[in-house]
């Protein structure tokens, strides 16, 4: 059947492609899961945070796990589309999670333990330290003399303290002497010395107090040894 001259060309039917042909099945764009897109975005952000030290890298690791979960959902819910976006999101998020965990452990590594020799010396020193009861009952004689004023009440005086080593070996001693006025504590001072076996030394207490302290209050004070300890000489 011929078409009349100069008659209009009929339009192709709806749904037909170019030149009146139907579209090929592969021409339609493949749908991309929103979960996959979000997974990629979260994975990239998590990877950036994972390289920042301390607690920020921990946040990156958490976001990385979230990105893995989103990418898995996108992979399972894709409707015939390519799995590439979801797999990309899962891979990026997994790397972020691993890097974040590694960075957390690297930057929160506990302080190195002291060398064995130093640790042994510290343990030995602690073991060799004697307490107040042991020092005063077995190791050291302490005699506190009378306080000697040297002038006005604002001027420092001296309190002789005699230390005698009762041991058969050298020892370093430290003694805390406290001045009392009745039940009120006025002041305290520490004297110490390294004494050989049987050696005796006289040390001076209360001669280096603060400038505003009224030394005259010590004239009638009662002096007591409150604490003491000893260690091997260094």
Quick check: helix, strand or coil at residue 135? helix
Q: What is the CA radius of gyration of the chain?
A: 44
CA-CA distances (angstroms) from residue 51 to 46, 91, 92, 99, 234?
Answer: 9, 17, 14, 7, 48
Ranked by mean pLDDT, which of 79-88, 103-112, 180-189 comes out on top? 180-189
* pLDDT at residue 82, as a whole number: 79
Orientation of helix 34-50 relative to helix 84-107, angle to 10°: 20
Q: Which residues contact 130 (CB under 8 A, 6 or more apart)?
A: 139, 229, 230, 231
* pLDDT at residue 225, as a whole number: 93
Q: What is the CATH architecture of 122-231?
A: Sandwich (2.60)
Residue-wise pLDDT for 57-105, tens only, equals 888 888 888 888 888 888 888 777 778 888 888 898 899 888 888 888 7
Pairing mode, strands 159-165 and 200-205? antiparallel
pTM of the model: 0.47
CA-CA distances (angstroms) from residue 78 to 34, 36, 66, 74, 128?
Answer: 9, 9, 18, 6, 73
């Amino acid at each position: 059947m011929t078409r009349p001259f100069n008659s209009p060309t009929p339009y192709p039917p709806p749904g037909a492609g170019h030149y009146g042909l139907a579209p090929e099945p592969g021409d339609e764009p493949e749908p991309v899961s929103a979960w996959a897109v979000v997974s990629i975005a979260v994975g990239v952000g998590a990877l950036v945070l994972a390289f920042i030290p301390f607690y920020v890298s921990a946040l990156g690791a958490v976001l990385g796990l979230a990105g893995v979960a989103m990418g898995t959902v996108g992979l399972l819910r894709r409707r015939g589309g390519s799995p590439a976006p979801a797999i990309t999101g899962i891979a990026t998020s997994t790397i972020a999670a691993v890097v974040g965990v590694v960075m957390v452990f690297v930057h929160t590594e506990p302080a190195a333990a002291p060398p064995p020799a130093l640790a042994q010396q510290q343990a030995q020193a602690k073991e060799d330290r004697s307490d107040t009861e042991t020092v005063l009952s077995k190791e050291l004689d302490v005699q506190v003399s009378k306080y000697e004023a040297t002038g006005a009440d604002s001027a420092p005086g001296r309190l002789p303290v005699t230390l005698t080593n009762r041991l058969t070996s050298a020892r370093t001693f430290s003694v805390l002497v406290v001045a009392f006025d009745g039940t009120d504590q006025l002041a305290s001072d520490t004297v110490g010395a390294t004494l050989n076996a049987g050696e005796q030394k006289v040390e001076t207490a209360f001669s280096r107090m603060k400038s505003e302290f009224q030394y005259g209050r010590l004239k009638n004070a009662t002096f007591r040894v409150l604490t003491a300890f000893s260690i091997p000489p260094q």
